[in-house]
Amino acid sequence: MGPSSASETADEGAGLSAQFAAAMTAFRLPLGASVAVAVSGGADSLALALLLARWAKDRRVAAHALTVDHQLRAAAATEAVRVGAWLGAHDIPHTILRWDEGPHARTFKRSAQSAARTARYRLMTDWCAANDCSHLFLAHHADDQVETFLLRLSRGSGVEGLAAMAPMMLRHGIVVARPLLGFTKLQLMSVCDGFGQSWIEDPSNQNTASTRVRFRQAQEVLEREGLTRERLLATVGHLQRARAALEHAVTALLAQGSWDVFGVARLPVAALLDAPEEIALRALARLLTGAGGHSYGPRFESLVRLYARIGAGPWRDVTLHGCLVGRDGEQVMISREAAQITEDKTLTGNSSVVWDERFRLTLATEAAAAFTVSCLKGAAQSAALPETVRAALAKIPFRVRRTLPVLFDAAGVAAVPHAGYTRADVADMAGFRLGVTCISAGFEAPAAL
């Protein structure tokens, strides 16, 4: 490479670093913050890790890289180790998280990638919560944004879907941040080149069975017809501003309601019906998304039927999107549907878990301990509790108390946090401290309406 080429490369690198620093201002990270960055080994995520590490060094921010070994491909484990070695050469700390269900998920004909994506989010946000990392940075970029827009356009999405990926969202109580939405794939490859960093090419990126890949390959045809990346991104920008305006109105409507510590949402019926229909539908979708522990909203047709039913009367309780929708006086009351809870989680000492996507449980103890997090199932379990605990639970509506987390061990019920109960032998464990936080209100906005 000649002197002029090296100079041009240096200038481009400085420009991209400045562009990245400008993008990072939106996240308002304080000095001393701890954050994580997802690194798969592709050029996009490696470029993000390298840019973030350099940016963080000057601001006393600790950045830790995470790679998920999804086990969907035989090479995944080897690739994760290689990523760790690459990052180690740049003094970037790295942890591999393994998805143990990956080998079984290979048998899912259509949903393996979707299941792996959900698992990646869960593993990484759980790690962030356990390690006091406030933000998880992802490497989605401008080309991904265009593909997302086209994919959702092909599905007939409205404003919410067509606004594509937001720069920031809350998932499992962790801020998921995307600082590269203004960068192209080629720019990120040049960042890696500037650091002398190789990358891994994911073979799935060439699989034409994927609609996203087909849109990527059709980009040249679209550009000839005037649908350039720049024009499509400008359209996404217009839609994101429209989405922000709608969300402002939705937030104002939801402020008239409430969430309680049990993950139950309430909203005055009059306020809901007085709002413009679009705002009311979005508000209902937000409540159902949070109360049901989802990261996506209900089907639009079902949502419209629910809205019409609320306005028409007489009222009968209904189920939708894993929730029970009822009335509490003059308020709509939305709670988790107990029959839809099938998840049990293991909680060990000095760790935390998210249960049913609605509660985060954190256990500190110096003793060896392992509990199963589930909910009360059947009258026998409740009957075995002390009378004072049964009395405390009786004050919680039946439909709600069946949806709350309970700790079990070999001796039976070990703790019922929402009733203020911990069995004596468990409470006497050295350093025992149990924390339970409802994260239902910290949900991601529905993907599409």
Map residue 346 onto helix, strand or coil: strand
Read off the pLDDT band of 219 (50, 70, 90). confident
- Residue 30 contacts residue 60 (beta carbons within 8 Å): no
Read off the pLDDT band of 209 (50, 70, 90). low
Higher pLDDT, 129 or 63: 63
Map residue 7 onto helix, strand or coil: helix
What percent of the chain shows pLDDT beyond 90?
67
Helix (H) or strand (E) holding 335: strand 331-336
Q: Could you read off the pLDDT of 321-336 as tens digits, one per residue?
A: 999 999 999 999 999 9
According to DSSP, the β-strands at 351-355 and 345-348 are unpaired
Read off the pLDDT band of 240 (50, 70, 90). very high
| Average model confidence (pLDDT) across the chain | 89
pLDDT at 111 over 70: no
Distance separating alpha carbons of residues 143 and 5, to the nearest angstrom: 26
pLDDT at 90 over 70: yes
- For the chain, the first-to-last Cα distance in angstroms comes to 51
Read off the pLDDT band of 2 (50, 70, 90). very low
Distance separating alpha carbons of residues 56 and 91, to the nearest angstrom: 12
- DSSP of 49-86, one letter per residue? HHHHHHHHHTTT-EEEEEEEE--SSTTHHHHHHHHHHH
Q: Could you read off the pLDDT of 431-449 as tens digits, one per residue?
A: 999 999 998 865 433 332 2
Higher pLDDT, 59 or 205: 59
Q: Could you read off the pLDDT of 25-40 as tens digits, one per residue?
A: 999 999 899 999 999 9
Residue 1 is predicted with a pLDDT of 40
CB under 8 Å to 374, separation ≥6 — which residues? 344, 345, 405, 406, 408
Residue 208 is predicted with a pLDDT of 59
- Residue 60 contacts residue 25 (beta carbons within 8 Å): no
Residue 105 is predicted with a pLDDT of 61
Angle 169-171-177 from CA coordinates, rounded to 5°: 40
- Residue 186 contacts residue 194 (beta carbons within 8 Å): no
Residue 404 is predicted with a pLDDT of 96
What percent of the chain shows pLDDT beyond 70?
90
Amino acid at 376: L
pLDDT at 162 over 80: yes
Residue 8 is predicted with a pLDDT of 57
The counts of H helices and E strands in the chain are 18, 19
- CATH numbers and ranges of domains, the chain: 10-230 (3.40.50.620), 257-339 (3.30.465), 343-438 (no CATH)
Distance separating alpha carbons of residues 96 and 98, to the nearest angstrom: 6
Residue 112 is predicted with a pLDDT of 65
Residue 173 is predicted with a pLDDT of 79
**Least confident span in 34-48, 81-95, 374-388:** 374-388
Q: Could you read off the pLDDT of 190-202 as tens digits, one per residue?
A: 999 999 999 998 7
Structure letter (DSSP) for residue 429: S
pLDDT at 400 over 70: yes
pLDDT at 411 over 80: yes
Q: Could you read off the pLDDT of 269-314 as tens digits, one per residue?
A: 999 999 999 999 999 999 999 999 987 889 889 999 999 999 987 8
Map residue 413 onto helix, strand or coil: strand
pLDDT at 249 over 70: yes
Average pLDDT of the residues in 149-170:
88
- Residue 311 contacts residue 270 (beta carbons within 8 Å): no
Read off the pLDDT band of 206 (50, 70, 90). low
Read off the pLDDT band of 104 (50, 70, 90). low
Residue 449 is predicted with a pLDDT of 26
Higher pLDDT, 129 or 44: 44
pLDDT at 394 over 50: yes
Residue 265 phi, psi dihedral angles, 5° rounding: -105, 145
Residue 377 is predicted with a pLDDT of 85
Distance separating alpha carbons of residues 267 and 273, to the nearest angstrom: 11
pLDDT at 10 over 60: no
Q: Is the pTM of this model over 0.75?
A: yes
Read off the pLDDT band of 3 (50, 70, 90). very low
Residue 218 is predicted with a pLDDT of 77
pLDDT at 182 over 80: yes
Distance separating alpha carbons of residues 79 and 97, to the nearest angstrom: 13
